[in-house]
Structure 1
């Protein structure tokens, strides 16, 4: 397939995602249900990412291998490894391709991608060193993460082609360090990069297919302030957190942020000064943590939707089911949220992965009509694209 046709298909995918997202009712005022995902053979589990079918990936301490579930979080099974004893999952796309990192049979830590629904596992290699981690994957199987360069001289963000083929160095804003955390279906990437030889790092966004790297700056513009881009949606909205970092104290006054489409205009979400945003879906709903860097605070999770902040730990179904101190790290286009928390009476006392789902009204007929019209447009554009392949 030519690059032009791949770009056309990416455009169609983003267009369809927008049509689909427009058909999804808002979840800020929805009723909710929460379910624990289990632990398999271990005493704790944490969920890391979710796709639009509700498949969840994460990690636990059973046999120290990453897990994947079926649709809507049902059924947990282990993933493979790259030959070593452990694997860790970071993200999953709508085909069920999982990315993360695993020890190899030589003891090195390498990024991986699986086939659909978590089948198999392929080593993505490195940028010349002996270390790589995959953090994000889009619906074309393009993977981003961080890798050591030749001689392990530096650590740089990388991007691959579709299905994890080929690894390209994304470089840095300046200095010798960068990491990519998330990629959308246009290939726009966000993450963190050094901006000079001093230990100051800023969030970045790239253009399509990882081309070019732009500094997103920080919330108040201070020269000693840091920012981290944690996730990007198909509109190019970036979420993360920004604040001051001290080598002796750690993160101080850290606040969650969101940008406008295309990474323009960074602004705070209006959450606690100790907060972080970890995920955003295509209708701009954000989840993250409250009091994430406060040693003496009760930690919780939030949902930001249409300007409203909801403390997820205070939702009536969450409290009634015995959950507390939630950490939310993923949200899909159906508004399903994943993370981990404490479950009262759970054996072993460790954290448990959860799936929090909105119970929403059935869409009106007009909404279905919009969706069907979008599907018709998608089919027409795909047929035209096939004629030129």
Structure 2
């Protein structure tokens, strides 16, 4: 779960990190910062990819175990120390953690299948969650009771359908959540709250990607609709069932643009959050007060992405850079998560804290391996994909995502 004390940065930030680093060349790097909105300070998170943290300050993500291997990790409270979580036979990545320290993510197996995993409390032991009948699965989120959500192939063929799943407490059992239509052969669950309400994305009967929400414990799948365009994608959910994501909105009669959205409780209604300028915007996380974070293109620099935050219930989008004391040259390009404690995980496009060349090369090598894992599993999947503007992010912020989105 990614709200309250348990905050998960979407896996989209992995791709953002890679694209930012490449875009700025050898003298700059994508840097991950933890923002404290109460103090207006930014803490550099070092040469590792942090994807989530819980209320105790345990961080999880991936690091370069060596030149050829990226491994999932967990830290102790307040980010102290780092423990390698191991793998199921190949590279691994942690995607989320709950208050008990149960970690979920995915790993290659020895025969190069991708499998969702869960650990026990404090990251002890890595257990393969299995699949819905196919070769591959991936875990995206976990709630307080240990219910896990993600996607799995439902047949043995590499090109078989992908379906969203939910497990029981502590990762026991795996239930197929289905899709939004008989012709919609693919779906993915991206987040879950403590009531077991699941959000994700699915093709509908017309093979158009739409965001969905379920009832408690994953029961029932309801289409969240769009902002007036033909597609939408969900990114996160809070305790009240407010959902955030992005959708194509009719900006003009003959043009469409992607805008961030928020819904009411239990996914009712969809409100356009606008943007920081006249370009696209994307929402990735929401806390229990309804504060939303993501990124938007700005009016002064329509080609540049800036992280944003809103007030409660999605009101008043503000450039996050204006609220934080940042090192010279640093621009927060995307915000992936926000907690009820006012902490935000972000990536910058600045040049202030550049790792040593050897360390940075290892970090990029490890992240590139994870990116390769994603690309391998997407190859031949026939998802409609568009070339994206900076940051070049996976469609739903998750590896193996099932949908596409328009550029702004």
TM-score by length of 1: 0.73
Q: What pairs up with 1:30-179 in 2 under 5 angstroms?
A: 30-39=38-47, 45-63=48-66, 64-84=70-90, 86-152=91-157, 153-174=160-181, 175-179=184-188
Matched, 1:218 2:226: yes
Which of 303, 307, 317 is the equivalent residue of 2:309? 303
Q: Go from structure 1 to structure 2 and tell me whether the alpha carbon gap of 1:254 and 1:77 turns closer, same or farther (over 3 Å shift).
A: farther
TM-score by length of 2: 0.70
CA distance in 2, matches of 1:203, 1:116: 31
Which of 252, 260, 264 is the equivalent residue of 1:260? 264
Deviation at 1:72, TM superposition (A): 3.7
- 1:57 touches 1:91 (CA, 8 Å); kept in 2? yes
Deviations 1:261-317 (CA, angstroms, capped at 9, x unpaired): 11001111232441111111112121112239xx97222211112323232234341
Deviation at 1:259, TM superposition (A): 0.6
- Runs (5+) with no aligned partner, structure 1: 1-13, 19-26, 40-44, 246-250, 353-389
Deviation at 1:79, TM superposition (A): 2.2
Deviation at 1:176, TM superposition (A): 0.4
CA distance in 2, matches of 1:346, 1:69: 22
Deviation at 1:129, TM superposition (A): 0.4
Q: Go from structure 1 to structure 2 and tell me whether the alpha carbon gap of 1:341 and 1:146 turns closer, same or farther (over 3 Å shift).
A: same
- 2:210 touches 2:223 (CA, 8 Å); kept in 1? yes
Deviation at 1:28, TM superposition (A): 10
Deviation at 1:252, TM superposition (A): 6.0
Q: Go from structure 1 to structure 2 and tell me whether the alpha carbon gap of 1:29 and 1:291 turns closer, same or farther (over 3 Å shift).
A: same
Q: What pairs up with 1:279-318 in 2 under 5 angstroms?
A: 279-291=285-297, 297-306=303-312, 307-318=315-326
Report how many residues are paired. 311
What CA RMSD, in Å, does the superposition of the two structures yield over aligned residues? 2.8
Deviation at 1:167, TM superposition (A): 0.4
Helix, strand or coil: the match of 1:129? coil
CA distance in 2, matches of 1:300, 1:48: 19
Deviation at 1:258, TM superposition (A): 0.7
- 2:98 touches 2:144 (CA, 8 Å); kept in 1? yes
Matched, 1:276 2:282: yes
Helix, strand or coil: the match of 2:170? helix
- 1:97 touches 1:114 (CA, 8 Å); kept in 2? yes
Deviation at 1:115, TM superposition (A): 1.4
Q: Go from structure 1 to structure 2 and tell me whether the alpha carbon gap of 1:323 and 1:98 turns closer, same or farther (over 3 Å shift).
A: farther
CA distance in 1, matches of 2:343, 2:58: 10
Deviation at 1:172, TM superposition (A): 0.3
- Which residue of structure 2 lines up, in the alignment, with residue 371 of structure 1? none
CA distance in 1, matches of 2:267, 2:92: 32
Q: Go from structure 1 to structure 2 and tell me whether the alpha carbon gap of 1:305 and 1:75 turns closer, same or farther (over 3 Å shift).
A: farther
- Which residue of structure 1 lines up, in the alignment, with residue 330 of structure 2? 323
- Runs (5+) with no aligned partner, structure 2: 6-34, 365-408
Q: Go from structure 1 to structure 2 and tell me whether the alpha carbon gap of 1:296 and 1:46 turns closer, same or farther (over 3 Å shift).
A: farther
Helix, strand or coil: the match of 1:130? coil
Q: Go from structure 1 to structure 2 and tell me whether the alpha carbon gap of 1:329 and 1:118 turns closer, same or farther (over 3 Å shift).
A: same
CA distance in 2, matches of 1:325, 1:252: 26
Q: What pairs up with 1:186-205 in 2 under 5 angstroms?
A: 186-198=195-207, 200-205=208-213
CA distance in 2, matches of 1:32, 1:72: 19
